Amino acid sequence: GRATERLAFRAETKRLLDIVTNSLYEDKEVYLRELVSNASDALEKARHAALTETPNEEELAIKIATDEGEGKVLVVSDNGVGMTREELMENLGTIARSGSKAFLEGLDADADAASNIIGKFGVGFYASFMVSDKVEVISNAGARGDGKAWKWSSTGDGEFTIEEATESDEAPTRGTKIVMHIKSDDKHLTSKWGVETVLKKYSSFVAFPVLLNGHKMNDVGALWMKDEKDITDDDSIAFYRFVSGASDMPPFRMSFKADAPMTIRSLLYFPEENPERVAGFGGQTNSGVSLYARRVMIQEKTEKLLPAFLRFVRGVVDCEDIPLNISRESLQDSMLVMRLGQIITKRVLKFLDEKAKKEPEKYNKWFANLGFFLKEGVCSEYAYKLELAELLRYESSSTETGKLTSFREYAARMPEGQDKVYYIVAPSRLQAEASPYLEAAKSRGYEVLFLYAHIDEFVMQHLMSVAGKQLVSVEAANLDVDGEKADGEESKSNDAAALDDAAGAELCKWFSDDALAGKLKEVKLSNRLVSSPALISGHEPEAMRRYRMVQTMASD
């Protein structure tokens, strides 16, 4: 065979390893979650291959062996697809996965967040170095490989070695065996008791038997196949932790089953926390829904299943009609997957609508954190615009601070004579309430929706109308003050001090020719105001103004 080859880690891998081995003291236990999940992935691939290519001879399982006497060595093995020599070099020598990259980028943004991030996302295989002085990976790719087992080995510094496995390595005939030489401080984590605790926490739903020193630890439950009434809250939360890797408490879960037009079993979660804010990476996260067919994973975190705005949804969709041997490429443009995605999307929106009606408090609280995604949907997915509009909630001049209202509720409150839905874009409630543009609407008893987010104005432009009522910004509405209704103290005192036509014209001329010469197109007397002296009209929308301001500031 070939002699031992010594290779250097790529620079970013080196950096990650350095952080993993030297600065992460909390959440060390996630090392096991990462290794079990890798073993499970490898078994999933083997199961998939068995259904389409070569059958598996032994039962697929993950075996963990502790070394109770000394606590120095922990072995995690699987009889999954294994790795060839090249795969060992490529997969374990470079940062192959986006999760690890995101981890590093997250660190750049906030170095203190390291242990927080690892708890939620993990760093993949390299997590094994959090508890090990040395890690050996002995792998055999079986029929896919060159007939040999290979051993990858590293102490987690700058280099790793690759050599042919020897008899004493007891290599599997197919699969991977990871031998960890445990740091003396971490033996409590890798004792039988320590391993058992961590397995219960993270790996209860692994779809293959997990054996600890020969004893089966999990009951291999595919929770999404169960009836809603048979799903306990404890199992549900454990399952959510497993599929999402997140630690929040999702307020809603949807168990959706259908037998026509497709056979669907699904269990989906609506997180409490915005996963993109938790991540702190500032970027978009990927899909959180995995596609299965009859309990066999087809693809983890399937991109093309749900529209991008539903990327916050977590869980599993199992559809019997998807062929097992579907390739990654054909998955992308499969009509079947598209249809399935549409069915699930409609269901998700209907489900949220029901929750919004039955549990408005809970829904509104959820919306305050995650509503951004629905707004994004209005702007990006024409097909679901109307369903999404029903789900939007805003504060308004008629709600208390922090309380939200829907377009539907707004419409039900509209007084006679009001035929449009009015909104104002402002950074805060205080600024919205103080705006001169609000005065005319208020004088007429018209409610005005308060839009605080940058995206809201685009949402209104995409919707244009709701339930046949035009959506109009009070800035552009040109509403006159209703003389009778606004006959309060303020307007009376205004009347008393009102200028006659000639004096008014003179004042306008002074503004446009002297005081603000060249800065204005026209100055007019207006009926739009009650207590403010002046307002600017005919300008571009608020969001555009803010956008321009940022642009100007950036170029200064």
Which of 124, 145, 275, 315 is in the footprint of ligand ADP by CB under 6 A? Answer: 124
DSSP letters for 139-166: EE-GGGTTS-EEEEEE-SSSEEEEEE--
If phi > 0 it is left, if psi is from -120 to 50 it is alpha, else beta; for residue 282 that is left
Q: CB of 126: closest distance to Mg ion in angstroms?
A: 10
Cα separation, 24 vs 30, in Å, equals 11
Give residues 116-145 in contact with Mg ion (rule: CB under 5 A): 124
Which residues inside 76-105 make contact with ligand ADP, applying CB under 6 A?
A: 78, 80-83, 91-92, 96-97, 99
Spatial contact of 68 and 192, defined as CB atoms under 8 Å apart: yes
User: Near ligand ADP by CB under 6 A, which window of 37-45, 256-264, 379-387, 397-405?
Assistant: 37-45
Question: Which is closer to ligand ADP, CB of 37 or CB of 255?
Answer: 37
Answer yes or no whether residue 13 interacts with ligand ADP by CB under 6 A: no
CB-based closest residue to ligand ADP:
124
| Residue 158 is labelled as binding a ligand | no
Pick the binder of Mg ion from 21, 38, 140, 236 (CB under 5 A).
38
| Sign of the alpha-carbon dihedral angle for 307, 310, 314, 315 | negative
Q: What is the distance between the alpha carbons of residues 75 and 58, in angstroms, rounded to a whole number?
A: 19
Using CB atoms within 10 Å of the CB of residue 302, give its burial: 0 to 12 exposed, 13 to 18 middle, 19+ buried.
buried
CB of 300 to ligand ADP, least distance (A): 9
Q: Note whether 78 and 61 are within 8 A (CB).
A: yes
In whole angstroms, the minimum distance from the beta carbon of 11 to ligand ADP comes to 17
Which of these segments, 12-20, 36-44, 174-182, 436-444, binds Mg ion (CB under 5 A)? Answer: 36-44
Please check if 413 is assigned to a binding site: no
Torsion angle of the four alpha carbons 115, 119, 120, 125, in this order, in degrees rounded to the nearest 10: 100
Q: How far is the CB of 124 from ligand ADP (least distance, A)?
A: 2
For 58-214, where are the E strands, in sequence order? 62-66, 73-78, 132-140, 149-154, 159-164, 175-182, 210-212
Q: Which residues within the stretch 170-189 sit at the binding site for ligand ADP (CB under 6 A)? A: 176
- The least distance separating Mg ion from the CB of residue 41, rounded to whole angstroms, comes to 6
Instruction: Decide the pairing of beta strands 420-425 and 448-451.
Output: parallel
Confirm if 285 and 372 have CB atoms less than 8 A apart. no
Q: What, of ligand ADP, Mg ion, none, does residue 471 touch, CB below 5 to 8 Å by kind?
A: none
Which listed residue (13, 21, 38, 491) binds ligand ADP by CB under 6 A? 38
Is the bond preceding 251 in cis, omega lying within 30 degrees of 0? no
The size of the interface with Mg ion (CB under 5 A), counted in residues, is 2
Q: How far apart are CA 273 and CA 420, in angstroms?
A: 34
- 325 marked ligand binding residue: no
Q: Is 78 annotated as contributing to ligand binding? A: yes
- Cβ contacts of 20 within 8 Å, gap of 6 or more: 123, 126, 127, 129, 130, 156
Instruction: Give yes or no for residue 34 binding ligand ADP (CB under 6 A).
Output: yes
Does 406 show up as a binding residue in the annotation? no
Q: What is the DSSP string of 409-434?
A: HHHHHPPTT--EEEEEE-SSHHHHHH
Tokens 């409609």 locate to 346
16, 19, 39, 217: residue in contact with ligand ADP (rule CB under 6 A)? 39
Q: Which does 237 bind (CB under 5 to 8 A by kind): ligand ADP, Mg ion, none?
A: none
CB of 87 to ligand ADP, least distance (A): 7
Nearest-angstrom CA–CA distance, 379 and 358:
27
208 binds ligand ADP per the rule CB under 6 A: no
Per partner kind, with CB cut-offs from 5 to 8 A, the member of ligand ADP, Mg ion, none near residue 80 is ligand ADP
* 469-473 β-sheet, strand order: 395-396, 448-451, 420-425, 469-473, 465-466
Compare residues 91 and 397 and give the one whose CB is closer to ligand ADP: 91
Establish if 482 lies at the interface with ligand ADP (CB under 6 A).
no
CA triple 186-187-191, angle to 5 deg:
130
Nearest alpha-carbon partner for 136 in 147, 122, 125, 124:
125
Q: Which does residue 42 touch among ligand ADP, Mg ion, none (CB within 5 to 8 A, set by kind)?
A: ligand ADP
Q: Which residues are annotated as a binding site?
A: 34, 38, 78, 83, 91, 98-99, 176, 328
- Note the residues at the interface with Mg ion (CB under 5 A): 38, 124
- Note the residues at the interface with ligand ADP (CB under 6 A): 34, 38-39, 41-42, 78, 80-83, 91-92, 96-97, 99, 124-125, 176
Q: Which residues are annotated as a binding site for ATP?
A: 34, 38, 78, 83, 91, 98-99, 176, 328
